[in-house]
Amino acid sequence: MIALQNERGIIAVDCGGDLVQKMLQAGLPLDRLEAIVLTHAHPDHVCSFPLVMQRLWLSGRRRSIRVIGPESALSVAKTLMSVFQLDECDGMPRIDWQVVSRDSVGQPLGLDSWRVTVSYGEHSVESIAVRFEDPLTGSAAAYSSDTEPHDNVIALARGAAILVHEATGSGPGHSSAEEAATVAARAKVERLLLVHLPPSHAINGASLERARAVFADTQLGEEGGRYPF
C-alpha cells in the first residue's frame, strides 16, 4: 500500500491490509483522501477494500470517494462490498467507480490533487502501473505494481523523481531487484525503491549490491517510510 500526499490531497494505492490504520499511524488525515487506486485483483492488493470503506464511514466521512482501477479489480471490490452488505449502511460514502482500460493509457484521470496516468504491465491478471505528478511542482513518482520488467513501465516512469518497483523475484509476472534496477536505469529516474518483498524471497545483500551495480540509488522501501520528492 502506498499513499501520495501533497497540499491538494491524498491518493492511496491498493488495500491488501488495513489502509486506514496505516494512514492514521502516518498522520495522514482521512478527510483529505480523494481517491483509491486498485492496481489489480489479487488479494494482497484489494482484499481489505470493504474494511477501508467501513472505517471511513465510521470516521464520519459522508462525501463520495473515487475508486480507480481495471474492470477486474473493481469487480472484486464491488463483490466484497456486497458480501459484507456495506452498501446498506446508512450514510455510507458513495463510491464513484472509474474503470481504466488500455484506452486510458497516457490520459489524465481527472483528479484534483494529483495528475494521475496509468499504463499496463505484465502480470498473471491485468495490472496497472501508475504515475503521479504534482500539478504545482511537476515532480513525479511512479509505481510499477506487480509486473515483469516492461517497456510500458519504463515509458510511464520516464524522468520520475522516484520509481517504486516490485522485486518479488524473477519469474512470470514478477521482477527481481536487478531487473527493477534495469527498469530504473532505462527510465532515467532519480531514485529506486524496491517493494513487494515477501519473507520467502527476501533480498539479501548480494542481490541488493547487484541491483546497485545497475542503478546506484537503489534502496529497500520501508514499512511506514516517507519519501519526499
DSSP string, the chain: -EEEE-SS-EEEE--SS-HHHHHHHTT--GGGEEEEE---SSHHHHTTHHHHHHHHHHTT--S-EEEEE-HHHHHHHHHHHHHTTGGGSTTPPPEEEEE--GGGTTS----SSSEEEEEE---SS--EEEEEE-TTT--EEEE--S-SS-HHHHHHHTT-SEEEEE-S-SBTTB--HHHHHHHHHHHT-SEEEEE---GGG---HHHHHHHHHH-SSEEE--TT-----
* Number of domains making up the chain: 2
pTM: 0.96
Residues 146 and 82 in one domain: no
Domain boundary residue among 84, 103, 122? Answer: 103
The answer to whether position 229 is within a domain reads no
The answer to whether position 147 is within a domain reads yes
And the C-alpha cell for 38? 486498485
Residues 1 and 78 in one domain: yes
The answer to whether position 122 is within a domain reads no
Residues 78 and 22 in one domain: yes
What is the extent of the structural domain holding 153? Answer: 139-221
Domain boundary residue among 103, 120, 155? Answer: 103
Residues 52 and 143 in one domain: no
Residues 99 and 172 in one domain: no
From first to last of its 229 residues, the chain has per-residue pLDDT tens of 999 999 999 999 999 999 999 999 999 999 999 999 999 999 999 999 999 999 999 999 999 999 999 999 999 999 999 999 998 899 999 999 999 999 999 999 999 999 999 999 999 999 999 999 999 999 999 999 999 999 999 999 999 999 999 999 998 999 999 999 999 999 999 999 999 987 765 677 788 999 999 999 999 999 999 999 9
The answer to whether position 127 is within a domain reads no
CA 41 to chain centre: 13
The answer to whether position 21 is within a domain reads yes
Residue 12's domain is classified under what CATH number? 3.60.15.10
Residues 143 and 215 in one domain: yes
What one-letter code names the amino acid at 4? L
Residues 143 and 195 in one domain: yes
CA 215 to chain centre: 22
The answer to whether position 176 is within a domain reads yes
The answer to whether position 124 is within a domain reads no
Domain boundary residue among 45, 77, 103? Answer: 103
Residues 89 and 176 in one domain: no
Residues 82 and 28 in one domain: yes
Residues 92 and 148 in one domain: no
The answer to whether position 36 is within a domain reads yes
Long-range contacts of the stretch 135-142 (C-beta < 8 A, 24+): 135/8, 136/6, 136/7, 136/8, 139/229, 140/229, 141/4, 141/227, 141/229, 142/187, 142/189
Residues 84 and 148 in one domain: no
Residues 146 and 80 in one domain: no
